[in-house]
Amino acid sequence: MLETVEQQTGAVPEWSVIWLHGLGADGHDFAPIVPELVRPHWPAIRFVFPHAPKRPVSINGGMPMRAWYDIVSMDFRSRADAAGVAESVAQVEELIAREQARGIPLTRILLAGFSQGGAITLATGLTRREPLAGLIALSTYLPEVDAAASQLVDGANTQPLFMAHGSADPVIPVQVAEHSMQVLKQLGFDLEWHRYPMAHQVCAEEIHALGQWLQQRFEG
């Protein structure tokens, strides 16, 4: 089981959000977003921020760092180490199962991720046989995008999906993200897409839009 940082917005959480960080960061990276995102009238939420394992990253000269998978190529169609992606998806599934064991049903568990973490969120979402309450993918892309149709399992596309990206992102070009978005739409996902004039980051307008989208999940 991955080590995690946790925050609860109330004594008895009714919902869980599992949030995956980007390459080289850790579970503390997105913890400060909670007070910016959460609204006073929302149900109690447990935010779970796992630490990715440390592994050598090829494009960084093999330097070990926290990473959800190795980056083996500059080509976004093949840059993600498929075995690493599968390993991280399995670890995320363990975290989802733990939230269920703590009394949170799948219909109240959301999976979020930024950059590499967002790629794992999308990869997990494609293969979930029992839908989650929603998927959040920020500044990211779908690994193995050409194989997405064959990886999609029945019912996975019923999960609502929020995607957002910066038009000036130097790490993951917005065109790469838009291609992933179009593929996921074609696969039938109910997808909300936002594009902001920013780099590889999160902005206040994006947090507000995500809050609106989450509000719909809580009311649903």
Identify the active-site residue in 26, 165, 169, 180: 169
Decide if 150 is catalytic: no
Question: 115 an active-site residue?
Answer: yes
Q: Considering the candidates 115, 139, 165, 180, report the single residue annotated as catalytic.
A: 115
Q: Does 169 qualify as catalytic in the annotation?
A: yes
Contact by Cβ (8 Å): 68, 84? yes
Q: Are residues 50 and 56 in contact, defined by beta-carbon separation less than 8 angstroms?
A: no
The widest CA-to-CA distance across the chain, in whole angstroms, is 47
- Out of 51, 179, 194, 200, pick the active-site residue: 200
Tokens of 179: 């291609």
Pick the closest to residue 155 from 133, 184, 121, 128 (CA basis): 128
The CA-based angle 110-155-23, given to 5 degrees, is: 40
Where in the sequence numbering do the catalytic residues fall?
A: 115, 169, 200
